[in-house]
Amino acid sequence: MDKLEIAPEFFYAKLSDAKTHFERALDCKHTEFDTLYPYMIEHPQFFWYKRYVAWSELLTVVKLSEELQLNWRDQFTERQSEYIANRVMSSRVLDEWYETNDSKEHVG
């Protein structure tokens, strides 16, 4: 069987997409999840689930990047990289993902 060649740019784009998806979920902005499950918008208690889905996606892309020996850390701050490496989405991750609450890093 032929070996599959994957361009690193493909995974860096997927990593960027997953990061944006997670940050949009953190910021309570519209994501693909809202399109798939529009009834959840009406129930604020499901925001935690939306964030969990985005976090899981981010961890999956990071795991694949590691398996392909691609450096994923350069797309994140040192603190964010640490959170991802720990793999646990805690309240600290949710509260401190951005370096400061007034950070300009929030996604548009």
pLDDT digits (tens, 9 = 90+) for 21-73: 999 999 988 888 778 777 777 777 777 888 999 999 999 999 999 999 999 99
Report if residue 86 sits inside a domain.
Answer: yes
- Integer Rg of the chain from CA: 15
Report if residue 30 sits inside a domain.
Answer: yes
Report if residue 106 sits inside a domain.
Answer: no
pLDDT of residue 38: 76
- The reported pTM is 0.81
Residue span of the structural domain in which 63 resides: 8-41+48-96
CA distances 72 to 41, 42, 57, 66, 84, Å, are 32, 35, 14, 8, 10
> What pLDDT, in 10s, does the model give residues 2-26?
677 778 899 899 999 999 999 999 9
Report if residue 101 sits inside a domain.
Answer: no
Q: What total number of domains does the chain contain?
A: 1
